[in-house]
Chains A and B, each alone.
Chain A
Amino acid sequence: MFGSTAFLVILALSLLVFAVPGWLKYYFTLGLLMAGIVLTTSWAAGLLAGSGLTEEFPLFTAASGTGMVLVIDRLSAFFVLVINITVLIGLLYARGYLEPYRARMNALRFSIHYFSYLWLWLSMLMVVMVRDGLSFLIVWEIMALSSFFLVIFDAEERSIMKTGISYLIQMHVGMFFILVAFLLVQQDTGRMSFDALGEYFSRHRNLPLFLLFFAGFGIKAGFIPLHTWLPEAHPAAPSHVSGVMSGVMIKMGIYGIARVLTSMQSDLVATGVIILAVSLFSGVMGVMMAIVQHDLKRLLAYHSIENIGIIGIGLGLGVIGQANGNNALALLGYAGGLLHVLNHSLFKSLLFFNAGSVYHAAHTRNMELTGGLMKRMPWTAILFLTGSLAICGLPPFNGFISEYLIYMGMFGSLSGASLSHSILIVGSIAALSLIGGLAIFCFTKAFGIVFLGEPRSEQADHAREVSRSMIIPQLFTAALILFIGLGSPFVVKPVFDLVARTWNIGSQQLVTGAYTANLAQISLAGGIFVVTLAALLFYRRYHLSRRVVDTGPTWGCGYTAVTPKQQYTATSFAYNYNHIAKPVLQTRKDIDEIGEDEIFPHGRKFLSHSDDLFKRNLVDRPADWVSGLLKRIAVMQTGQIRHYILYAFVFMLLVLLLAMLKII
């Protein structure tokens, strides 16, 4: 009872953000957040450590007997931990990040911002803990609204407002699907709740309802082709918000899918294959589109799509494993997917925070205007490198562990597999390894162009390291990334346990035992690698201290008047790649060619731009078509009263006529 009351008190206190004086707002928000985090983390930890299946915290009861009850089980507990970590680090980082805005914006804007931040966090917590359909839709809506207000924080630019509105619309399209799905359940079972799904699934075909949920949650998660809001909204939002949105908010979609999957009973093969196919497509396309971006945050946003794809691959494999009665595949798939949720929340938020620091220091997100930032911002650079290595799934960082689990699910299920399964799995392995390769291409570009070489603009040259209050929270994230990478058995064991209990998968001990041993070997390899590297670097230092070490200009092939402008840029780095990927990406170039009769060509502009194919064809084109149609209808809107009277007259005549003919 104490828990529920405490949670309600936190909900109520959040309103006080508007009342406290300006300088105190941040600390008040932080205090409230901390209190909530202690409370909910203790719930989650208590449940994960204990043997109970669920714990309930009733918030309030309506007169009709229904109400809002927080139900926490292992799956919820896992997501609660993921949410709490990133939201806390995001707010700690925000203190320094919001500093320049303080002069420009009034206290009300800040109050709205903090209030929305708190409610985004609270609504996400409730999303993962609420079972009742109506309550779920309410908190789901609150989550969309609060994140909308967070996105438009910087809405002096019209484009950001436009992005915000488009985001809000797409979120509601998603919500519509979820609503319809819940209504179908309600109609059949009389209950509108996740708990009623099992009953519905036992009586009907499972696939149609699942597809409705998948569409609804998929828009939030950002599966291609439902991702169109994502690359717009993430860059528009302030960086701590992008970190939280990309790190945890899109995972609410994954939570929804996982939650529905726990109740499914039939059609599992089809479901698994659909999830797997969509995820593979999202993974490959997400990273392919990421490579050609110039805007650092947009690049990261497309990478979120790729990572959602990897998570989806894990979940899809889990479902297929369940369908085939292959417990090891089910365990490894689900565990890999869920662990990647945690891992991605860590490294993606870290990367977004770093992108924010770059923006903060160099006032641009355009990679072509950056360069040489490592010398100016060493901490940010090392943190970004850590995030990059982790997101590429390279050892000894955390991304490797989850990708390893997913890979092992696939490789392990190959022996004695049927024909269709073999083809499916080998195709997935090829795609996942291609995703890995493309990610390396993308992040060598991002890190290399932004942080290495010479600055390509004045503003990058003047960049200075961001304040310590922005660096220190990120160090914490980086430490977690390394901990999961090097001490994976400690983390993977509880995840296996969680998966086995959530989806009722047997022979869990066996798989857990084997994989704890495998992961221990990986940790050992990671340890050996780190020690070898340290020894090498140590010896290198000693070796060079006894030799002549000189500095000079970079080798320019004999050319000595090199300027930073001649460096490879983000575009040129991706040029070769662009050439191969052209059919999928459709890069546009705007240039007017030099005519033959033009002896002294005048100055020209060159623009290259790559469109999001899906956005253009699925969102922009239909929207343009509808608005074009409406414009044509708008000729009726003449503004002359006699025309309107004529319309009314025609309408009445029509009604009369139809009534006489007994049509209506």
Chain B
Amino acid sequence: MMAGFILIAVAAFFFPGVILRTKSIASGRKGPGIFQPWRDIAVLFKKGSVFSDTSGLIFRIGPSVTLATVTGAMLLVPFAEQKAVLSFEGDFILFAYLLALGKFFTIIAALDTGSSFEGMGASREALFSMLVEPAFFILIATFAMFTGYTSFSVIFNHFFITGNDYVLIYSIIGAYLLVQIAMIENSRLPVDDPKTHLELTMIHEVMILDHSGFDKALIHIGTYLKFAIYGSLIYNLVVPAGWNVILQTGLFFAVQALFAVVIGFTESFRARNKMNKNPKFILTLSSIALIAFMVILILTEKLA
């Protein structure tokens, strides 16, 4: 039961470090060690906090709410044949809406500071996360149609045994979409660049400008966990359930590491989109999801 939950937590421990290492290697720098992100978090935990005079309750509870939603979402993700801690029909709806709840609080916490920069970031993040929502739902609907089930655990368990030879196609399209969705949800390239240092061009970073100490640490932990959550969803899509447990665990970390390396390379070799190109980029994902849907219609011979 708890396997998925624990593995995600463990993966989150290495994930940001792997991205960081990939980026330093790709850019030919020596770079920090693999645990640097968590060392930074330890430092943040030691620090005190500074709050803006303008901000109030929402600013203070925001990061905690967001982290609580992420841990809630973690409970819903299965691992291989093992069911998630909470598994029921339609658990992915709760999954998506829990993450949305976290986003809601991130946005209003940014607005609580009364800063025009943070307002700008909030507006952008709200817009982009709204546009990405349909892609996720179309993707899951496609899976539900394909397997005939409506719960993460059961969908993934039946993904490779539905007796369809083309399963790899869905698995690849699904994995591609989930990578892109994860990048947008976590505000990485090509939609947002976490390393940009001009407030005007930031999205997520500018929203959390005013957070410090404990709260800032929670925000970072939430982001790392979210990466690992999407990583494990991708893992469930590409590796059939029901293999040997040790092999599964090994593959799990391999997929997570690969995912992190992909992110690292993308961020090393790609520039961020122009801000007003972002909506188009994000809507493209929904179109790709629709293509996946059409492909399944054709393959299941509903559409001749």
A residues adjacent to B (C-beta < 8 A)? 371-372, 374-375, 378, 385, 389, 392-395, 400, 403-404, 407-408, 410-412, 414-419, 422-423, 425-426, 429-434, 436-438, 440-441, 443-445, 447-449, 452-454, 514-515, 517-518, 521-522, 524-525, 528-529, 532-533, 536-537, 540, 543-544, 547-557, 562, 564, 566-568, 572-577, 579-580
For the complex, what is the distance from the CA of A425 to the CA of B47, rounded to whole Å? 51
| Minimal beta-carbon separation of B5 from chain A (angstroms) | 11
Given A429-B138, A568-B116, answer yes or no on A419-B303 (Cβ-Cβ < 8 Å): yes
Residues of B contacting A547 in the complex (Cβ-Cβ under 8 angstroms): 47-49, 213-214
Contact A437 B134 (CB under 8 A): yes
Q: List 7 A-B contacts (CB under 8 A).
A: A395-B101, A415-B144, A417-B145, A433-B137, A525-B72, A536-B67, A553-B54
Contact A555 B115 (CB under 8 A): yes
For the complex, what is the distance from the CA of A573 to the CA of B140, rounded to whole Å? 31
**Which of B87, B130, B286 is close to A441, meaning CB atoms less than 8 Å apart?**
B130
Q: Is the C-beta of B40 less than 8 angstroms from some C-beta in chain A?
A: no
Contact B89 A445 (CB under 8 A): no
Residues of A contacting B87 in the complex (Cβ-Cβ under 8 angstroms): 521
**Which of B101, B132, B214, B302 is close to A389, meaning CB atoms less than 8 Å apart?**
B101
Contact A524 B86 (CB under 8 A): yes
**Which of B69, B103, B108 is close to A447, meaning CB atoms less than 8 Å apart?**
B108
For the complex, what is the distance from the CA of A395 to the CA of B210, rounded to whole Å? 27
**Which of A422, A425, A544, A566 is close to B302, meaning CB atoms less than 8 Å apart?**
A422
Interface majority SS on B: helix, strand, loop or mixed? helix
Contact A554 B90 (CB under 8 A): no
Q: Is the C-beta of B58 less than 8 angstroms from some C-beta in chain A?
A: yes
Contact B89 A518 (CB under 8 A): yes
For the complex, what is the distance from the CA of A430 to the CA of B289, rounded to whole Å? 10
Given A434-B134, A437-B131, A549-B49, answer yes or no on A418-B144 (Cβ-Cβ < 8 Å): no
How many residues of chain B have a CB within 8 Å of chain A?
Answer: 88
Q: Is the C-beta of B184 less than 8 angstroms from some C-beta in chain A?
A: no
Residues of A contacting B279 in the complex (Cβ-Cβ under 8 angstroms): 576, 580
For the complex, what is the distance from the CA of A67 to the CA of B49, rounded to whole Å? 73
Residues of B contacting A429 in the complex (Cβ-Cβ under 8 angstroms): 137-138, 141
Given A549-B48, A576-B123, answer yes or no on A448-B141 (Cβ-Cβ < 8 Å): no
Q: Is the C-beta of B183 less than 8 angstroms from some C-beta in chain A?
A: no
Q: Which residues of B40-75 are within 8 A (CB) of A?
A: 45, 47-58, 61, 64-65, 67-69, 71-72, 75
Q: Is the C-beta of B88 less than 8 angstroms from some C-beta in chain A?
A: yes
Q: Is the C-beta of B23 less than 8 angstroms from some C-beta in chain A?
A: no
Closest to B90 in A: A408
| Minimal beta-carbon separation of B2 from chain A (angstroms) | 13
Contact A554 B113 (CB under 8 A): yes
Q: Is the C-beta of B179 less than 8 angstroms from some C-beta in chain A?
A: no
Closest to B117 in A: A557
Contact B100 A440 (CB under 8 A): yes
For the complex, what is the distance from the CA of A393 to the CA of B96, rounded to whole Å? 11
For the complex, what is the distance from the CA of A577 to the CA of B131, rounded to whole Å? 10
Residues of B contacting A419 in the complex (Cβ-Cβ under 8 angstroms): 297, 302-303
Residues of A contacting B244 in the complex (Cβ-Cβ under 8 angstroms): none
Q: Is the C-beta of B111 less than 8 angstroms from some C-beta in chain A?
A: yes
For the complex, what is the distance from the CA of A575 to the CA of B144, rounded to whole Å? 36
Question: Could you list 16 further interchain pairs (A-B, Cβ under 8 angstroms) beyond the known A372-B54, A444-B107, A536-B67?
Answer: A393-B97, A394-B101, A414-B141, A419-B302, A426-B142, A444-B111, A447-B108, A453-B112, A528-B75, A544-B214, A549-B48, A554-B210, A556-B115, A568-B119, A573-B122, A580-B279
Q: Is the C-beta of B35 less than 8 angstroms from some C-beta in chain A?
A: no
Closest to A533 in B: B68
Residues of A contacting B150 in the complex (Cβ-Cβ under 8 angstroms): 408, 411-412
Interface centre among A434, A568, A575 (most CB of B within 10 A): A568
For the complex, what is the distance from the CA of A579 to the CA of B278, rounded to whole Å? 12
Residues of B contacting A414 in the complex (Cβ-Cβ under 8 angstroms): 141, 144-145, 148
For the complex, what is the distance from the CA of A358 to the CA of B94, rounded to whole Å? 32
For the complex, what is the distance from the CA of A410 to the CA of B137, rounded to whole Å? 11
B residues adjacent to A (C-beta < 8 A)? 45, 47-58, 61, 64-65, 67-69, 71-72, 75-76, 86-91, 93-94, 96-98, 100-101, 103-104, 107-108, 111-120, 122-124, 126-127, 129-134, 136-138, 140-142, 144-145, 147-150, 199, 209-210, 213-215, 218, 276, 279, 286, 290, 293, 297, 302-303
| Minimal beta-carbon separation of A545 from chain B (angstroms) | 11
For the complex, what is the distance from the CA of A432 to the CA of B120, rounded to whole Å? 26
Given A426-B141, A552-B53, answer yes or no on A434-B93 (Cβ-Cβ < 8 Å): no
Interface majority SS on A: helix, strand, loop or mixed? helix
Contact B214 A540 (CB under 8 A): yes
Closest to A436 in B: B133
Contact A415 B52 (CB under 8 A): no
**Which of B72, B119, B127 is close to A532, meaning CB atoms less than 8 Å apart?**
B72
Contact A453 B145 (CB under 8 A): no
For the complex, what is the distance from the CA of A127 to the CA of B261, rounded to whole Å? 64
Residues of A contacting B97 in the complex (Cβ-Cβ under 8 angstroms): 393-395, 400, 436
Contact A412 B115 (CB under 8 A): no
For the complex, what is the distance from the CA of A567 to the CA of B55, rounded to whole Å? 13
Contact B104 A389 (CB under 8 A): yes
Contact B58 A552 (CB under 8 A): no
Contact B130 A425 (CB under 8 A): no
**Which of A371, A529, A550, A555 is close to B48, meaning CB atoms less than 8 Å apart?**
A550
8 closest Cβ pairs, A-B complex: A568-B119, A448-B111, A415-B148, A437-B130, A453-B114, A548-B48, A437-B133, A547-B48
Residues of A contacting B49 in the complex (Cβ-Cβ under 8 angstroms): 544, 547-550
Contact A394 B104 (CB under 8 A): yes
For the complex, what is the distance from the CA of A547 to the CA of B91, rounded to whole Å? 39
For the complex, what is the distance from the CA of A515 to the CA of B98, rounded to whole Å? 19
Closest to A392 in B: B104
| Minimal beta-carbon separation of B232 from chain A (angstroms) | 18
| Minimal beta-carbon separation of B123 from chain A (angstroms) | 5
Contact A552 B52 (CB under 8 A): yes
Residues of A contacting B124 in the complex (Cβ-Cβ under 8 angstroms): 576
For the complex, what is the distance from the CA of A437 to the CA of B144, rounded to whole Å? 21
| Minimal beta-carbon separation of B300 from chain A (angstroms) | 9
Closest to A394 in B: B101
Residues of B contacting A550 in the complex (Cβ-Cβ under 8 angstroms): 48-51
Residues of A contacting B100 in the complex (Cβ-Cβ under 8 angstroms): 392, 394, 436-437, 440
Given A422-B145, A444-B108, answer yes or no on A518-B90 (Cβ-Cβ < 8 Å): yes
Closest to B107 in A: A444
Residues of B contacting A579 in the complex (Cβ-Cβ under 8 angstroms): 276
Contact B54 A453 (CB under 8 A): yes
| Minimal beta-carbon separation of B132 from chain A (angstroms) | 8
Contact A452 B108 (CB under 8 A): yes
Contact B112 A448 (CB under 8 A): yes
Residues of A contacting B52 in the complex (Cβ-Cβ under 8 angstroms): 551-555
For the complex, what is the distance from the CA of A643 to the CA of B291, rounded to whole Å? 72
**Which of A374, A533, A544, A568 is close to B57, meaning CB atoms less than 8 Å apart?**
A374
Residues of B contacting A553 in the complex (Cβ-Cβ under 8 angstroms): 52-54
| Minimal beta-carbon separation of B283 from chain A (angstroms) | 9
Contact B127 A577 (CB under 8 A): yes
Residues of A contacting B134 in the complex (Cβ-Cβ under 8 angstroms): 430-431, 433-434, 437
Contact A521 B88 (CB under 8 A): yes
Residues of A contacting B115 in the complex (Cβ-Cβ under 8 angstroms): 554-556, 562, 567
For the complex, what is the distance from the CA of A423 to the CA of B122, rounded to whole Å? 34
**Which of A374, A430, A566 is close to B58, meaning CB atoms less than 8 Å apart?**
A374
| Minimal beta-carbon separation of A250 from chain B (angstroms) | 25
Contact B90 A404 (CB under 8 A): yes
**Which of A425, A515, A533, A567 is close to B65, meaning CB atoms less than 8 Å apart?**
A533
Closest to A525 in B: B86
Residues of B contacting A562 in the complex (Cβ-Cβ under 8 angstroms): 115
For the complex, what is the distance from the CA of A547 to the CA of B215, rounded to whole Å? 13
For the complex, what is the distance from the CA of A273 to the CA of B215, rounded to whole Å? 48
For the complex, what is the distance from the CA of A554 to the CA of B51, rounded to whole Å? 8
For the complex, what is the distance from the CA of A344 to the CA of B113, rounded to whole Å? 31
For the complex, what is the distance from the CA of A540 to the CA of B108, rounded to whole Å? 19
For the complex, what is the distance from the CA of A577 to the CA of B91, rounded to whole Å? 30
Residues of A contacting B104 in the complex (Cβ-Cβ under 8 angstroms): 389, 392, 394, 440, 443-444
